[in-house]
Chain A
């Protein structure tokens, strides 16, 4: 995740220009393609992702020797079509990733604003909970929760939301603390705005930028965590085709030369996270009226 940000910064010329002018076409295209694949998975996928033919095990991709056009990206250890599984996997990653990020973001932002703006005991309670929460290692905590509630897509979303809301709360509260001392907030009080109006009109719009940028970064983290949970067997229950699960299944075949079982889902995860981060970077600039004109 950080590596992908660094990559953008390392190639200022071309990348910077498509980041600044107009729309970041590359990541938008990638995400759009993944989204379309996710939505129309039933129509596009050539095979059933959950049923394999044992006679077709470990078929390499079509361009390698022994591959066939029936399975463009080969088959896995039980003969399931890798392409079909990747396409359906996009659906899982998209749904889980976006809903978990939104869930965590809304909870964290609201609590962060309340803590930062109201201060006093509200702040104390929310931030002590946040501190305690952050002290728990995220992945271990997620595994712990998953072990309790059992694996399902819905549970994964809730778990990821519960694990990651604290990051938003921290970042947002910090922003709010500096925002509420600004003169325009004081003038809004002088103008007779209620606390609710001030939080909604003057605080929230000013922290939404940070929250959105954080959300796009968190999208990467969440997708990777989802993959990790699936990889560890407490995420999306098999035989559902999640990318993390595919990685886990494929790792045994890596030494035997069945590279497509791990590399392909890995590339998918990477593309999605990278695109999300690039769009986040662009949004950060786009949402700031002072940078918008550059």
Chain B
């Protein structure tokens, strides 16, 4: 696609705030976030509820609710800054080169249209394919997402299908125009475990077949370990640690990442108790000063409450924001 070696997606210093109606309360949902993603790579974004994962995803697509403002940074997608694009220009990018899968497959499909119509919709919008042609392509796409009897399914309505099938169909819609980047916001949360596993391997397969870059937003570290090449751990709106998945799981640098990994329940653990992180996730409207994690951090230093740690390299492509490494 690009003539240089520029990555598919480069996010630099992205900052998105929610501002209350009178402008008095500012919630720093995403603060100074930077990362890059190359063709065909998978980035996992993990963090607790309220850490800014979803706001980050919506910022990338410029789909923020009215109260939210992206006030700084740049999103370079295929070399172009999305933050300076008009709504009309964005429409040509969304769906065609960038697609999204949401959490709830029940709510992601319009109950009034057949599967064929909905899978074909992006094709009709972007490529001007006729209704008949779109149905034809929809059949192929349903086959690509492993739905049996696609000829019959295109004629079904969403309520006639199971949750797992619907989520596959949402996947089929997402890949219908052959996007370069797919953002998946907790796509498996509402599926049961066996279906989850199937769906994840399907996503993997589609990714390989289409050379798709994937941003996978989740709070499930197990899925990250299985799916992703790179991980970014978010806390209080910032990326506190990022790096290749092996490094993050093998040698976590940030105390928060370490605590997250330790709190994964393990089979056959003789201890029998779950390790939890002390305290509550911070209120994003009132983040603690210094390092946002310091009130809960087992390894905090005195300066952690005062100065915010800088992003430092601790290994090959492995960065963290923590004074232990500063």
Contacts and interface: CB of A to CB of B under 8 A. Distances in A.
B99 interface: yes
Contacts of B91: 192-194
Contact of A289 (B94, B102, B159): B159
Interface string B70-101: 00000000000000000000111111101110
Interface in A208-238: none
A92 B52 CA distance: 62
A184 B159 contact: no
A193 B95 CA distance: 8
Interface stretch (B106-114, B227-235, B281-289, B296-304): B106-114
A17 interface: no
B67 interface: no
Interface string A84-128: 000000000000000000000000000000000001000000000
Contacts of B122: 191-192
A282 B112 CA distance: 17
B159 A191 contact: no
Nearest to B94: A192
Contacts of A188: 110, 121
B126 A192 contact: yes
Nearest to B104: A183
- The number of chain A residues touching the other chain, given as a range, is 20 to 34
B110 A202 contact: yes
A186 interface: yes
B107 A184 contact: yes
Most central of B92, B100, B104 by chain A CB within 10 Å:
B100
B173 to A, nearest CB: 7
Nearest to B98: A190
Contacts of B90: 192
B249 interface: no
Interface string A152-184: 000000000000000000000000000000111
Contacts of A184: 107-110, 118
A183 B104 CA distance: 8
Contacts of B112: 205-206, 289
A190 B111 contact: no
B138 interface: no
- Chain A interface mostly: helix
Interface in A111-152: 119
A189 B94 contact: yes
B125 A187 contact: no
Contacts of A192: 90-96, 122, 125-126
Interface string B126-170: 100000000000000000000000000000010100000000001
A182 B157 contact: no
A290 interface: yes
A289 B173 CA distance: 21
A187 B118 CA distance: 11
A211 B24 CA distance: 41
Interface residues of B, number: 32
Contacts of B61: 190
A183 B121 contact: no
Nearest to B176: A191
Contacts of A29: none
B1 to A, nearest CB: 18
B63 interface: yes
Interface in B7-62: 61
A186 B102 contact: yes
A186 B54 CA distance: 14
A191 B125 contact: yes
B92 A187 contact: no
B101 to A, nearest CB: 8
Contacts of B157: 289-290
A289 B99 contact: no
B63 A186 contact: yes
A68 interface: no
Contacts of A64: none
B63 A190 contact: yes
Contact of B111 (A119, A193, A201, A289): A289
Given A289-B112, A289-B157, A289-B159, A190 B95 contact: yes
B63 A191 contact: no
Contacts of B92: 192
B282 to A, nearest CB: 27
A190 B125 CA distance: 12
A187 B63 contact: no
Given A187-B170, A202-B110, 17 more contacts: A119-B66, A184-B108, A187-B173, A189-B63, A189-B94, A190-B63, A191-B95, A192-B122, A193-B125, A201-B113, A201-B121, A205-B112, A205-B113, A206-B111, A206-B112, A290-B157, A290-B159
28 contacts: A182-B107, A183-B107, A183-B108, A187-B108, A188-B121, A190-B94, A190-B98, A191-B95, A191-B99, A191-B121, A191-B122, A191-B125, A191-B173, A192-B95, A193-B91, A193-B125, A194-B91, A197-B125, A201-B113, A201-B121, A202-B110, A205-B110, A205-B113, A289-B111, A289-B157, A289-B159, A290-B111, A290-B159
Interface of B: 61, 63, 66, 90-96, 98-100, 102-104, 107-113, 118, 121-122, 125-126, 157, 159, 170, 173
